[in-house]
Structure 1
Amino acid sequence: MSKIYVLDTNVLLQDPYSIFSFEDNEVVIPAVVLEEVDSKKRYMDEIGRNARHVSRLIDGLRTAGKLHEKIPLENGGTVRIELNHRSFHDLQDIFVEKTNDNRILAVARNLSLEEQKKPNGKPVILVSKDALVRVKADALGLTAEDFLNDRVVDFEQIYTGYLIIFISLEKLKKFYETGEMPLSEIASHSFYPHQFLIMKDVMGSSASAIGIVDHRNKKVRKLALNQEHIWGIHPRNAQQTMAIELLLRKEIPLVTLIGKAGTGKTLLALAAGLMQTEDFHEYKKLLVARPIVPVGKDLGFLPGEKQEKLRPWMQPIYDNLEYLFNTKKPGELDAILAGMGSIEVEALTYIRGRSLPKQFIIIDEAQNLTKHEVKTIITRVGEGSKIVLMGDPEQIDHPYLDAYNNGLTYVVEKFKDQLIAGHVKLIKGERSGLARLAADLL
């Protein structure tokens, strides 16, 4: 039986092509949704871009018929703008305020009541990214669903970048002696390029080794670099050792790091960038950027010039730089950075449209980027550059993103089988015992 899907505004603003994602069913867009989309068209961010794109898509549908009637889609379904069924009569005693969310609920409820009176009435389903709208719908007896078509992968199944393999002690000894081993001797299943293997003794002894997959030659090899420290930073666990390996290997121009707060993502990336920029001169500049997703007041409302406005959002980067440079006096870090000239800390807004050759680029808090934004950034990377994307998909401030559909998760899953990319999920917090416990318990 075909169904009627009523779309909330946030579904269209998250994915303009969501209209075409419901197969041979009927898609209904309440008139109030168009008003909300129209109010977002002037925004100069991803939401504004999607609002304009939705407007063009719907305008293009007019060539196939009248929007208030059913317009056929290529997938066999239909779409229409719902101008009727706006009556608030059945909701006025439950939700007094005539908010846009409640108007959308009213359309879905009235359509549902009408379909229930028909002999072969269709099920009406409200689709919304807003959890509270889905809760309200459930309270009204309406079926409500999240829009899941934009999910890359379940977060619990996200690629970690490493596997724990149990092998015989003889094979472990052979690996230590030769520094490599055919993958066929370890397991029969396939491996991803630059995937790390934590090999342990199958009999339970303390013997173990870490190797990295050489996908071209179908072997696992010892870590090529095995740095004891980078800019005074020593790896404290296996995952940090893996991260350093990826950060320092020039033949891997795309590195993604995922982990909770305090696992060392930012500190390791900055240390690796400083070493390769300042000591080895492999890159002309170290560029550090992060998206501005305000929790309180937006950037434009803060006093001061651009650098003064940026400082609150960039402070976590400066905190790590102060630790690496071992500064103790106020203003000392600013003097060091001004004297070096090869380190640039910038808001992500200001690197769009630029070409970035021969640079070590760090994008912090990448979980707050959309798929389109992360594509825009990676396509800016010039010849001889390396880009590091990192963040925690469980800590997202963007209103239309979650752990399943954000740009960082998207890149991890799309690039995991590419020879130019490497990934590690950092597990253990190393900031302090308190920070580690807070990350786990709170």
Structure 2
Amino acid sequence: MITRRYILDTNVLLQDPLAIYAFEQHEVIIPAVVLEEVDSKKRNMDEIGRNARYVARLIDDLREKGKLHLGVPLSNGGSFRVELNHRSFGKMKEHFFEVTNDNRILAVALNMSLEEKENNTGVAVTLVSKDALLRVKADALGIHAEDFLSDRVVQYDRMYTGYKEISVPPEIINQLYEKKVMKLDKVGKFNYYPNQFLIIKDETNSSRSALGIISKDCKDIQLFIPQDDTIWGIRPRNVQQRIAFELLTRDDIPLVTLAGKAGTGKTLLSLAAGLYQTEDLQKYNKLLVARPVVPVGKDIGYLPGEKEEKLRPWMQPIYDNLEFLFNTKKPGELERILAGMGSIQVEALTYIRGRSIPDQFIIIDEAQNLTKHEVKTILTRVGEGSKIVLMGDPKQIDHPYLDEYTNGLTYVTERLKHLSETGHIKLQKGERSGLAQMAADLL
């Protein structure tokens, strides 16, 4: 017996095409207008278009089970129905009289909710939408509304940081400095992950500390003594940046994720580490730097010039950091250097889809604007002998269907943190300038 009906907004399906299976044994309802909106997106050559086409095929397959307007069973024990009635605006006119697609979805939810109450069926009706304003309008009409939460990985404030601060007796620190390695269970029982760093403080003397890194099998902790050497003129300014440099230069960690707000040094550190290992050590054949063109997946557009000229406005943050690292002063000097070296490639993600990328140091900037599918596609392109760095700020997302809970950077960090081939650090302190740090904290 049905106890709850969920009415899905278009944005839920466009973000997660499998959303209809996320409501267990309850009934999932798609208003007809939602099908129209999905249909209008199916020709898009981006992630939204791909999801729209996937939804269309999924619903078409369900037709084999029966009439969609009457309801068909789902494999998870629930049911699915396309709602063709309940579109009357009679109850909506006093509040939202304009016949928009959002209001048509609201009308379905309102009329269905009122019908269930009048018949005293005890069936609850819930509108599910990623649109905050639609949920507000629903609440004003007395309709129960919820955000779609099942695709969330973790809240950014609870995101894996890559390090943990602990306090221990002084003899533990003495032993670590003396033997360089010790059993992990001696510093306490926590949830540990491979390549996670521990900032170990003396519980009797707050100024005395040690820095350790957890082994790949999570059994030992090894003393980590950061080197003071500069890499391409860049010297780490805080402990998180030192950890980042260690992860970026380790051969046995092919996937590194860096998270942090603007000015924490993500791009500069990654480029310096990439140039050092590509140009100086020659571990990699090429340094490939890419970032999504927002909106993600769309073409560059009708900007004048060749591809490089079109890319320049989107890639300017990368070029700014390269100019700093190469200490260029004159216009065009950086372009001449890059053309002469030939081992540095700056691309939009549009142009690396479908490629196999072996023996390269790959940097993906603004990874928070990638969907789960896109970041999976990119990681599966990484060839033998390559290292890939995903970085970004989950608090600054430009993608219309992503948030800090569902973006590709958060997804990869949380889903792969238990693997010995991965490393992560969340950079906290801004080092760009005092003004930049103040703006990031207060504005």
Task: Find out whether 1:307 has 2:298 as its counterpart.
Answer: no
Task: Find out whether 1:136 has 2:115 as its counterpart.
Answer: no
- Aligned match of 1:41: 42
- Aligned match of 1:391: 392
Task: Find out whether 1:260 has 2:264 as its counterpart.
Answer: no
- Aligned match of 2:320: 319
Structure 1 spans left out of the alignment, 5+ residues: none
Are the aligned partners of 1:283 and 1:385 in contact in 2 as well (CA < 8 Å)?
Answer: yes
Structure-1 separation of matches of 2:360 and 2:328: 25
1:16-415 equivalences under 5 Å are 16-216=17-217, 218-223=219-224, 226=227, 228-294=229-295, 299-415=300-416
Task: Find out whether 1:436 has 2:440 as its counterpart.
Answer: no
Structure-1 separation of matches of 2:159 and 2:270: 21
Question: What amino acid sits opposite 1:179 in the alignment?
Answer: K
Structure-2 separation of matches of 1:53 and 1:235: 46
Instruction: Write the deviation string for residues 317-365 of structure 1: whole angstroms up to 9, x where unpaired.
Output: 0000011001111111111111100000000111010000000000000
Are the aligned partners of 1:124 and 1:143 in contact in 2 as well (CA < 8 Å)?
Answer: yes
Question: What amino acid sits opposite 1:408 in the alignment?
Answer: L
Structure-2 separation of matches of 1:49 and 1:253: 29
- Of all paired residues, the percent bearing the same amino acid is 68
Q: Secondary structure at the match of 2:207?
A: coil
Question: What amino acid sits opposite 1:281 in the alignment?
Answer: Q
TM-score relative to the length of structure 2: 0.97
Instruction: Write the deviation string for residues 169-194 of structure 1: whole angstroms up to 9, x where unpaired.
Output: 22222322332222122113342100
Task: Find out whether 1:12 has 2:16 as its counterpart.
Answer: no
Are the aligned partners of 2:3 and 2:122 in contact in 1 as well (CA < 8 Å)?
Answer: no
Instruction: Write the deviation string for residues 216-267 of structure 1: whole angstroms up to 9, x where unpaired.
Output: 3721113377352211101000100000000000100000000000000000
Moved more, 116-125 or 319-328: 116-125
Moved more, 81-90 or 253-262: 81-90
Instruction: Write the deviation string for residues 368-409 of structure 1: whole angstroms up to 9, x where unpaired.
Output: 101000000000000000000000111100011111111110
Instruction: Number of aligned residue pairs: give it.
Output: 441
Instruction: Write the deviation string for residues 64-88 of structure 1: whole angstroms up to 9, x where unpaired.
Output: 0001111111222111111111112
Q: Secondary structure at the match of 1:345?
A: strand
Structure-2 separation of matches of 1:224 and 1:213: 14
Structure-1 separation of matches of 2:236 and 2:410: 24
Question: What amino acid sits opposite 2:348 in the alignment?
Answer: A
Structure 2 spans left out of the alignment, 5+ residues: none
Question: What amino acid sits opposite 1:174 in the alignment?
Answer: Q
Q: Secondary structure at the match of 1:57?
A: helix
Moved more, 81-90 or 176-185: 176-185
Task: Report how far residue 204 of structure 1 moved.
Answer: 2.4
Structure-2 separation of matches of 1:64 and 1:294: 37
1:410-429 equivalences under 5 Å are 410-429=411-430
Moved more, 234-243 or 150-159: 150-159
Question: What amino acid sits opposite 2:61 in the alignment?
Answer: G
Are the aligned partners of 2:211 and 2:225 in contact in 1 as well (CA < 8 Å)?
Answer: no
Q: Secondary structure at the match of 1:330?
A: coil
Q: Secondary structure at the match of 2:88?
A: coil
Question: What amino acid sits opposite 1:101 in the alignment?
Answer: D
Q: Secondary structure at the match of 1:338?
A: helix
Structure-2 separation of matches of 1:265 and 1:125: 42
Q: Secondary structure at the match of 1:27?
A: strand
Moved more, 126-135 or 83-92: 83-92
Structure-2 separation of matches of 1:205 and 1:225: 20
Question: What amino acid sits opposite 1:209 in the alignment?
Answer: A
Q: Secondary structure at the match of 1:149?
A: coil
Moved more, 407-416 or 224-233: 224-233
Let me know the Cα RMSD of the aligned residues: 1.5
TM-score relative to the length of structure 1: 0.97
Structure-2 separation of matches of 1:252 and 1:70: 50
Structure-2 separation of matches of 1:294 and 1:310: 14
Moved more, 317-326 or 89-98: 89-98
Q: Secondary structure at the match of 1:387?
A: strand
Instruction: Write the deviation string for residues 86-137 of structure 1: whole angstroms up to 9, x where unpaired.
Output: 1122223322321111111111111111111112141111000011111111
Name the CA shift for 1:96/1:305 in 2 (closer, same or farther; >3 Å).
Answer: farther
Moved more, 16-25 or 164-173: 164-173
User: Which stretches of structure 1, 4 residues or longer, exceed 3 Å deviation after superposition?
Assistant: none
Question: What amino acid sits opposite 1:405 in the alignment?
Answer: T
Moved more, 201-210 or 367-376: 201-210
